[in-house]
Amino acid sequence: MAVHHEAVRATLVAAVRDLDGDAVRQLLARAIRSAGVDDAVAQVMVPVLGQIGDAWASGELSVVHEHFASNAFRGVLGHVRVRSSSRAGRVVVLACPPGELHDLPLELFGALLRARGWRVVTLGADTPLGAIEEAVRLLDADACVLASVRRSAFESRAVMLSELAATTRIPVFLAGQGALTLPSAPHRTTILPADMRRAADQVHALPRAPTPRPGRVSAPASSQQ
């Protein structure tokens, strides 16, 4: 079934303007069912969030609308989340570094990785690097993605990010506008492209580790975030 992205985006923005939660949820759920997770995230959800952010910055919409939209999007992601069918699937830890509070783009990225069969564990906003390292070790994770809109979140911790990659011995990816504006990636880390689908494909293209891996924690689906 064809999805007319421009019309869907316009209707979504109008529903957010009216604070119509039912309409927002129905539109997003329909887009995901019709076009799939990748297309709905990249062609509908991300652009709409950008439009809402721009409208808030210009004064056309208020912070109420921005918070409303974020909450509605999170709710839809929770209901239509695509989970890996196997507990032996590869594991990725997602988190925002200390001081970064904008974690919704990271959740959208997690949906793309779930659609590719990954088990995604999201630690959320403002996560200490020590907690990220602990989660990677407990889960015997295959990869770690840190996202921030602020360059300083990465630049001020460049040495620590390199140490995180060295001590965990897994690929550590940096994402978001904060990563894209860095002059170069901290040693042993990789900056993901702005396009979420390309970024998800890059993570998914990582070579698979031997299976089964000793020490891997297999949590029931209900505990996956």
> In angstroms, rounded to a whole number, what is the distance separating the alpha carbons of residues 72 and 66?
10
Q: How many CB atoms lie within 10 A of CB 192?
A: 22
State the pLDDT at residue 89. Answer: 79
Region 116-135: what's the mean pLDDT? 95
- Give yes or no: residues 71 and 112 share one domain: no
User: Structural domain of residue 124, as residue ranges?
Assistant: 91-210
Tell me if 161 is assigned to some domain: yes
State the pLDDT at residue 87. Answer: 56
- Give yes or no: residues 76 and 95 share one domain: no
- Give yes or no: residues 95 and 205 share one domain: yes
Number of domains in the chain: 2
- Give yes or no: residues 99 and 201 share one domain: yes
pLDDT in tens, 61-112: 999 999 999 999 988 887 766 444 445 579 999 999 999 998 999 999 999 9
> What 3-state DSSP class applies to 134?
helix
Sequence-distant (6+) residues with CB within 8 A of 88 are 211, 212, 216, 218
Q: Which of residues 80, 103, 122 is at a domain's end? A: 80
The CATH number of the domain where 57 resides is what? 1.10.1240.10
- Give yes or no: residues 66 and 139 share one domain: no
- Give yes or no: residues 201 and 135 share one domain: yes
Please state the pTM of the whole predicted model: 0.86
Which tokens go with 21?
């939660």
